Structure 1
Amino acid sequence: MKKLIQTLVLTLSMLSAGFAFAEPVNINSATAAELSANINGVGQKKAEAIIKYREEHGPFKQIEDLMKVQGVGPGIFAKNRENLKLASKQAALGHEE
């Protein structure tokens, strides 16, 4: 019985970790906290670099542009590609055509 409970707890833990990425992160509107929490391999410093890049260059035009941010290379991009989405801040707020 104890083994069954341990297995169930482990399975539920693994399932809940998988659901953490169920909703893709919008790289044009996410906060540093959202970026670091939802992009595997991106911590606070890289998240801040993503926001700084956005502020200096405008919204990302394609998700691959994320690799233009120093510290975000093909490896991080490949691990997260399915969890990234792209919309401008205005579109996210409903202000874009």
Structure 2
Amino acid sequence: MERVHWPVVVDRAREIVAEYDAGVTLRQLRYRAISEQLVPNTPSMYRRLSSRLAQARREGRFPDLVDTLREVHVPRPGPTTPSSWTRRPTGSDSTAPAARM
């Protein structure tokens, strides 16, 4: 594959995002760019695509993408929360198994 022409890739990625009614993920853009032979299918190119699109977003030249992996869910303590999630074991914890001799 020839050298990647990033202005072309970013412009085409912007067009791809505009084609969808719903949000688009970086992964979707990656596969579309690979299928259109804009970028090679390598892990380093995935990171570079992410970096280039993030830079374009910071500069206001690219729309936001959907990120479905960055949301963190933490259970709230409540009546159905196991006690092991809300308490810290101590050295004298009576529920700890006894040492075998």
Please indicate the TM-score interval, normalised by the length of the shorter structure.
0.3 to 0.5
Larger strand fraction of residues: 1
Query: Could you tell me the TM-score, scaled by structure 2's length?
Result: 0.32
More helix by share: 1
- Structure 1 length as normaliser, TM-score? 0.33
